[in-house]
Structure 1
Amino acid sequence: MESPSTRSHSLEVIDVIEETAEAVSVVFSRPEGETFAYLPGQFLTLRVPGTPEDGTSWAPRCYSLSSTPAVDPHLQVTIKRTAGGYASNWLCDNAKPGLVLESLTPGGRFIVSDDPDELVLLAAGSGITPVLSILRSELTGSSASITLIYANRDRNSIIFDSALAQLEATYPNRLRVTHWLESERGLPDAAGLRSAFPASTITTSAYLCGPTGFMDAAVAAAVAAGIDRARIHREAFASLTTDPFDEPSLAPDSSNDVATVTVTLDGTTATLPWPTEQVLLDTLLAAGLDAPYVCREGNCGGCAFKLLDGEVRMLINDALDDYEIGSGVRLACQSVPCVDEITVEFD
């Protein structure tokens, strides 16, 4: 299969594991000659074949990696069927060894970025996927104590049930797993989740992944437990409406006004003219810089950067919460300059 863009790679399926009646793990071999490095908690963007009925050739979707880079030799994503979800159902029905799919290199900001003595991980349903990667990484690579609170509809819908039990048995002094089953307790709420938290310290961090309602309750529980808001991290995906595998069409520079941006990217710093009617991502790509991005729509956070100096305006923001905005995080695909001199940095 020919790669649709220079940013994509061909991944071959080498195994498919049935996790539950509604979820499978798809294992890929790493591309030859490519390290395909990733961090625990990141995701792959896969190009799933589309259908003539909906008039699309491809259906790009983001799926979190459930594998752990320091532990697993291969790449693994775990996919749960969703009602009316074309791509998830297609993969559950059609993924088999030998299938080749295109993938962008791993991306995402849902990674352990602080240095906690204690971790609280909260997941619901398929939200366990990046959380498992983080959990295994921290158990093998740190000394942190970990509490996992995992919500599901019922016992049969728990993804990685036996793997989690084995981890808890292997690390009895460091890992505590609490299952929240809606069939027994109803939907998770902040008070109930809070009751499962350990005694909080200033170096406790919380990482959350699941539906919006669950994560809102989890954030409220973490705040009530006394966890610093800077140490509460949440992951969410929005559906892609464009194909990030296509080479981007850069917005034309129609402005006579030009700001100046100093950008640090991949350890290199450059100073560039930035037309005031052009988003930062287009400015960087036009200058030949390999800026990160996925959706270009303001809803995935794949192009997030830190605003160090100056002021920008975002046209759309469906990815960053108020705390991230207050901390200076912005989206390159939606940011236009508001002042003459701006300094930014990409992690």
Structure 2
Amino acid sequence: MPAWEIAEVIAETPQACSLVLNAGFDYQPGQYLTVRTPVGARCYSLASSPFTDARPKVTVKRVRDGAVSNWICDNVRAGDVLEFAGPAGTFTPGSLDDDLLLLAGGSGITPIMGIVKAVRARGRGDLALIYANRDAESVIFQRELDELLPVTYWLDSERGVPTADALAGLLSPYAGREAFVCGPEAFVAVAEKALQLAGVAGVRVERFETEPVGGTDAVATVTIDGQTHELPWAAGKRLLDVIIDAGLNPPYSCRQGQCGACAVRKTDGEVELVNNEILEEEDFAEGYILACQAVARSEHVTVTYY
């Protein structure tokens, strides 16, 4: 991986920061980089445009129990050097002259920001953006967005969690456009249903895999379907893969820590979640973790499915 100096760290919100890189490379709007840190590696989208920004910029939002995102936000300063791989990803428009419908949830605005900047600088396409967040404090890039295009902001604190029917009413005027969707899995699922209801046929969803982090060799005691199993758990491997490889049938869906389908209750031991965009503090208080994102941090971990 090449190593690049951090030219600037920008505090975007209380929970998100951007790293401006002292680097030059070719990339497409909407792509991402993989960042390697002492606590693991993670993929972060480029919020910059190759046509408007002198330096590339990735944006990192803190995640509960997210080792990499929290390490970056707590420790990285201008002048530091980190390893990066990329750019990669296909979440890029085929033409900057096409009219696009853009839907973002939370930090999902990051690659869409790069697309917006690129279209405004080099294209003739018309853009419609729906951007959902929990509250006004969570909105990333609001000043820049408002200067670039009209934005429909959806704040859960004011309107409740978005539903497919409610979103469909906002999307129907743009049924003939290609849609780009990025955000937590719960938002993506609702957005995809809303797009279907609104008659939008062309839909692109941003997804990327994260690299494994470290961890500890362990034994997992797993109770599932009324039976208890002792399973060897290699360092860095995700708990969900351990259980599946043992021939068991655990619930799961997105594998990215965004939907909660793989949630399981931990009753003993310690784990680290590589990514989490769904569990809240009350879930952790009750012992729930995401099997698809959990790596062992103690020699023995006990979990149970009800």
- The TM-score, its normalising length taken from structure 2, stands at 0.67
Q: Which residue of 2 aligns with 1:110?
A: 91
Q: 1:237 aligns with which of 208, 212, 216?
A: 208
Q: Which residue of 2 aligns with 1:41?
A: 30
Q: Which residue of 1 aligns with 2:151?
A: 177
Work out the percentage of aligned pairs sharing the same amino acid.
41
Q: Distance in 2 between matches of 1:115 and 1:151?
A: 24
Q: Which residue of 1 aligns with 2:244?
A: none
Q: 2:132 aligns with which of 151, 154, 161?
A: 151
Q: Which residue of 1 aligns with 2:191?
A: 218
Q: 2:8 aligns with which of 4, 12, 15?
A: 15
Q: Distance in 1 between matches of 2:56 and 2:105?
A: 22
- The CA deviation at 1:153 is 0.7
Q: Is the 8 A contact 1:147 1:198 kept in 2?
A: no
Q: 1:200 aligns with which of 146, 171, 174?
A: 174
Q: Which residue of 2 aligns with 1:306?
A: none
- The CA deviation at 1:239 is 3.6
Matched, 1:122 2:103: yes
The letter for the 1-side match of 2:152 is T
Q: 2:69 aligns with which of 88, 95, 119?
A: 88
- Residues 1-347 of structure 1 aligned to structure 2 (within 5 Å): 8-30=1-23, 35-50=24-39, 59-113=40-94, 117-168=98-149, 176-197=150-171, 199-200=173-174, 202=176, 204-228=177-201, 231-241=202-212
Secondary structure of 2:10's counterpart equals: strand
Q: Is the 8 A contact 1:36 1:105 kept in 2?
A: no
The letter for the 2-side match of 1:43 is Y
Deviations along 1:233-267, whole A, 9 cap, x unmatched?
00123442269xxxxxxxxxxxxxxxxxxxxxxxx
- The CA deviation at 1:198 is 5.3
- The CA deviation at 1:94 is 1.0
- Structure with larger RCO (C-alpha < 8 A, sep 6+): 2
Q: Distance in 1 between matches of 2:92 and 2:185?
A: 19
Q: Distance in 1 between matches of 2:175 and 2:211?
A: 38
Q: Is the 8 A contact 1:46 1:63 kept in 2?
A: yes
Secondary structure of 1:196's counterpart equals: helix
Q: Distance in 2 between matches of 1:137 and 1:225?
A: 26
Q: Which runs of 4+ in 1 moved over 4 A?
A: none
- Note the residue ranges of structure 1 that are not aligned, 5 or more in a row: 1-7, 51-58, 169-175, 244-296, 298-316, 320-347
- The CA deviation at 1:90 is 0.6
Secondary structure of 1:44's counterpart equals: strand
The letter for the 1-side match of 2:128 is T
Secondary structure of 2:26's counterpart equals: coil
Q: Distance in 2 between matches of 1:200 and 1:21?
A: 33
Query: Structure 1 residues 188 and 91 mapped into 2: Cα distance closer, same or farther (>3 Å)?
Result: same
Q: Distance in 2 between matches of 1:72 and 1:116?
A: 20
Q: Distance in 2 between matches of 1:209 and 1:62?
A: 14
Number of equivalences: 218
Q: Which residue of 2 aligns with 1:324?
A: none
- The CA deviation at 1:105 is 2.4
Q: Is the 8 A contact 2:96 2:123 kept in 1?
A: no
Q: Distance in 2 between matches of 1:225 and 1:103?
A: 39
Q: Is the 8 A contact 1:47 1:101 kept in 2?
A: yes
